[in-house]
Amino acid sequence: MAKVLYENDIQKEVLQNKKIAIIGYGSQGHAHAKNLRDSGYDVVVGLRPGKSQQQAVEDGFEAYTVAEAVSTADVVMVLLPDERQPQVYEESIKPNLKAGSALAFAHGFNIHFNQVVPPENVDVFLVAPKGPGHLVRRTYEEGAGVPALYGIHQDVTGDAKAIALAYAEGIGAARAGVLQTSFQEETETDLFGEQAVLCGGLTSLVKAGFETLTEAGYQPEVAYFECLHELKLIVDLMYEGGLENMRYSISDTAQWGDFVSGPRVINEETKARMKDVLTDIQTGKFAHGWILENQANRPQFNAINNAEYNHPITAVGKELRALMPFVKNPIENKEKEGN
Ligand code: NAD
Ligand code: MG
Ligand code: MG
Ligand code: MG
Ligand code: MG
Ligand code: MG
């Protein structure tokens, strides 16, 4: 069994007299900055002028440029979009990194695929929360936390592991569990999870179910509730008690349908496609395509994003959610946070 660490396993002193610069104030950035500050650490935020910077100032942080924040910091956590990190790193981070400081990431992509190559005189570590940034903040405020993985790429001070663990504890992750990984494992499993299961697999499953029902003549509102809205209620049961808890709660009819029909939809063929997806991640083929797509200003990303937005499930969802005021819209919240 892997060793999972909790609050009492972690020393905090190593981070207490250090200045932490959070670079970027988006989904992860705002959560790390606020949680670390509430945990008693010395936090500054580094940003370009814009909406995120205004939000950081409104939240009580001083506005520094990326270069200014990096030059005073002992720990620099890079929470910019992955595809922008290489350029900002070259222009504003690398020239200002103090010898003996620590450069940190919340996802291993740029280090693992050599898009950022740090100097030899800094520690390099990873603290990757296994959940969306807005939940990293919300759960912390509730006295809970989102679990995180940590990994060490370079340890020049001999303290890299201790600093990474204290950092993970400071954002609240040790309340849920902190687990050691490598940049390679975190990068490959994170990309696989979001592509095959959490994001890609799930959106394709939901759309296919919605289309099957509406093409058969059933009402789109009924299809939306059945294939999208109810998913959260089912996933909450899985989150709280695993597959067995969800199956305990559903009717035996639903459970029999789960057993006999689930494997007709997701089967060995699907698993073979998942293995293809994993291979493309492991060989760097996926990373290469995403890097080129960004260099070309995202022609395919934007075209697919527009087409997806025009899927009938979007309109019916908007209509139904407007009638459920207790359902909070995270995109509206995100816009308020300046993205
Ligand atoms: P985001 O898009 O929500 O926020 C990015 C921030 O960077 C914003 O404040 C934006 O204004 C700022 N920014 C963008 N370009 C900039 C530039 N050129 N100069 C200065 N600031 C700039 O990003 P995110 O989703 O929080 O992702 C940050 C990192 O966290 C990534 O490495 C990502 O893989 C990782 N991560 C994200 C999540 C998540 O929940 N979103 C989960 C785990 C790990
Ligand atoms: Mg994003
Ligand atoms: Mg992830
Ligand atoms: Mg990810
Ligand atoms: Mg039902
Ligand atoms: Mg049951």
Ligand 1 lined by 66 (C-beta under 6 Å): yes
Q: Is 58 exposed, middle or buried (0-12, 13-18, 19+ CB in 10 A)?
A: exposed
Ligand 1 atom closest to the CA of 50, numbered from 1: 11
What 3-state class would DSSP assign to 271?
Answer: helix
Provide the whole-model pTM. 0.93
- Distances, alpha carbon 179 to alpha carbons 161, 253, 262, 306, in Å: 12, 38, 31, 38
| Domain limits, the chain | 4-182, 199-266+298-336
- Regions of the chain short of the pLDDT cut 70: 330-339
Q: Is 84 in the pocket of ligand 1 (CB under 6 A)?
A: yes
Model confidence over 264-302: pLDDT tens digits?
999 999 999 999 999 999 999 999 999 999 999 999 999
pLDDT for 141 equals 98
The fold of 4-182 is Rossmann fold (3.40.50)
197-249 pLDDT per residue, tens: 999 999 999 999 999 999 999 999 999 999 999 999 999 999 999 999 999 99
Is residue 82 within 6 Å of ligand 1 at its C-beta?
yes
Residue 182 CA, ligand 2 centroid: distance in Å: 23
Which letter, b or e, does each residue of 84-95 get, where b requires 16 or more Cβ atoms within 10 Å of its Cβ?
ebbebbeebbbe
DSSP 176-204: T-EEE--HHHHHHHHHHIIIIIITHHHHH
Which stretches of 65-106 are assigned E, i.e. beta strand? 75-78, 102-105
**What residues form the annotated binding site?**
25-28, 48, 52, 133, 190, 194, 226, 230, 251
What are 331's two structure tokens? 């995109």
Residue 107 among the catalytic residues: yes
Query: What's the pLDDT at 1?
Result: 82
Asked if the domains 4-182 and 199-266+298-336 are classified in one and the same CATH topology, the answer is no
Beta carbon of 81 within 6 Å of any ligand 1 atom: yes
Complex ipTM value: 0.96
Q: Distance, CA 253 to ligand 5 centroid (Å)?
A: 10
β-bridge partners, 123 = 102
Residue 107 CA to residue 262 CA, distance in Å, equals: 32
Please list all protein residues whose beta carbon sits less than 5 angstroms from ligand 3, which is an ion.
190
pLDDT value of residue 331: 57
How far apart (Å, rounded) are the C-alpha atoms in residues 197 and 135?
A: 19
Q: Does domain 199-266+298-336 have CATH number 3.40.220.10?
A: no
